[in-house]
Structure 1
């Protein structure tokens, strides 16, 4: 099985790690009980996966892989997360959100620093790659991966290793900047898009500008786009306070930007 490696730093590049944002800093939205997920939980190569399919005719050769943040599928946001995955299905893609956290998503209020000790790449990568293999065995030829916070790290790995067709990330964490993007520039052929937040304490606007310095202005020929959403903070692309029009617009804007990017690069 192919392994996604945490590749060594490039010499002569000063790199900094994007910090994980405390769980208390995440806003947790709620949905009316009448709103029900459209998909179902299945097992792919022994990994729990939320599968949701478009109601219209789907292209079985294309799929979206949705990588959640640390709250994962079993979290109190499970309903929200399922509906979020359903958005991608409604846009026309068979969509799969794997439990790549091995049934151990962090609870609201949990200690990220302690939790992450048991959720390094050695634990998280195998179930992720098992699901990708299962999708390919099903006949999926092109995989678009979209990752949020913790999931953004793993979409970046998939881009670095040319494992997917196209990638999008939102408010990613735990990346090394600019090293991880130097690696993309050096060895990848996969287009990547980033949605970042003005008020994020993790992937700050300063990190975003460092990323632009590596991939922007046409330096990365496979394709690079970054869009900043102002007046919102970490997690904005996943959840929003329904009474705040700025948050609602930013969440929808991030989805629309990612969707457009994916549609452009899936042929």
Structure 2
């Protein structure tokens, strides 16, 4: 597994978080709960980028999904060891290969499964997953395993193209939304075109949004002072909310 330089760049967003930390199956999670009545049997799993649960950008997006009527849960699938936030802007060195090795699917997926099993025991029957960067890999894997009812990814990382797209088309049942952009080493224009080609006839549902002038990470760590990036972040969020309202 590998990342690109843009996986570790971005801007910390301002805002006051409204959710709360909860422990689910022994795993720390950030939970956004709607203030209005909502379906108790449905949950969005927010599968974060490498900066994980502590990054306020991720928590604010969880709150945004909750504000749109979905209970949303961000599990700490890095077990207290996300990529440090300060490398986003400092250029400080960080041993990425060692970090990836410590958070491979054999380590990370069981943490996620614990949370899912606990939520099922509480009566949740329908899961959606929204994956950003690192979380895109796990969104695909949960769809492959039939765990989620609907999937959305923004600038996914760690996918094998075309293999994962072909596997999605042949084995997954979850409608898939991909939020893509202009500059993305992890999911470049060629991969975007391949996704359209392979998934064009995907019966459960497929849609790809494209945000011009945006770079990998835009939907969660984008610079809101750049009008194109701001439009991209807001557009990707709107598209995802609409996708979940249609299919979850």
Global fold match (TM > 0.5): yes
Asked if 1:48 corresponds to 2:32, the answer is no
Mapped to 2, the partners of 1:79 and 1:24 lie a distance apart of 16
* Residue in 2 that maps onto 1:8: none
Give yes or no for contact 2:7–2:217 (8 Å, CA) kept in 1: no
Asked if 1:265 corresponds to 2:242, the answer is no
Task: Spell out structure 1 runs of 4+ moving beyond 3 A.
Answer: none
* Residue in 2 that maps onto 1:246: 228
* Residue in 2 that maps onto 1:197: 181
Question: CA offsets per residue over residues 187-209 of structure 1, 9 Å max, x none?
Answer: 12111110111111221111111
Give yes or no for contact 2:41–2:126 (8 Å, CA) kept in 1: yes
Query: Residue 102 of structure 1 is aligned with which of 49, 63, 79?
Result: 79
Change (3 A) 1:124 1:63: same
Question: CA offsets per residue over residues 136-158 of structure 1, 9 Å max, x none?
Answer: 11111111100000000000001
Query: Residue 9 of structure 2 is aligned with which of 26, 33, 38?
Result: 26
* Residue in 2 that maps onto 1:115: 99
What's the C-alpha RMSD, in Å, of the aligned pairs?
Answer: 1.4
Count of residues paired in the alignment: 241
Shift, 1:118, TM fit: 1.0
Question: CA offsets per residue over residues 99-147 of structure 1, 9 Å max, x none?
Answer: 0111110112433223101111100100101111111111111111000
Q: Equivalent residues in 2 for 1:138-157 (5 A)? A: 138-157=122-141
Change (3 A) 1:156 1:24: closer
* Residue in 2 that maps onto 1:38: 18
Unaligned regions of 5+ residues in structure 1, if any? 1-16
Asked if 1:207 corresponds to 2:191, the answer is yes
Asked if 1:230 corresponds to 2:212, the answer is yes
Shift, 1:25, TM fit: 5.2
Q: TM-score, normalised by structure 1?
A: 0.86
Mapped to 1, the partners of 2:96 and 2:240 lie a distance apart of 27
Query: Residue 165 of structure 1 is aligned with which of 149, 152, 164?
Result: 149
Bigger helix fraction: 2
Asked if 1:84 corresponds to 2:67, the answer is no
Shift, 1:240, TM fit: 2.4
Question: CA offsets per residue over residues 3-36 of structure 1, 9 Å max, x none?
Answer: xxxxxxxxxxxxxx7x4122675212331xxx32
Query: Residue 70 of structure 2 is aligned with which of 93, 106, 120?
Result: 93
Q: TM-score, normalised by structure 2?
A: 0.93
Give yes or no for contact 1:43–1:49 (8 Å, CA) kept in 2: yes
Query: Residue 170 of structure 2 is aligned with which of 175, 181, 186?
Result: 186
Mapped to 2, the partners of 1:211 and 1:146 lie a distance apart of 18
Mapped to 2, the partners of 1:170 and 1:111 lie a distance apart of 25
Unaligned regions of 5+ residues in structure 2, if any? none
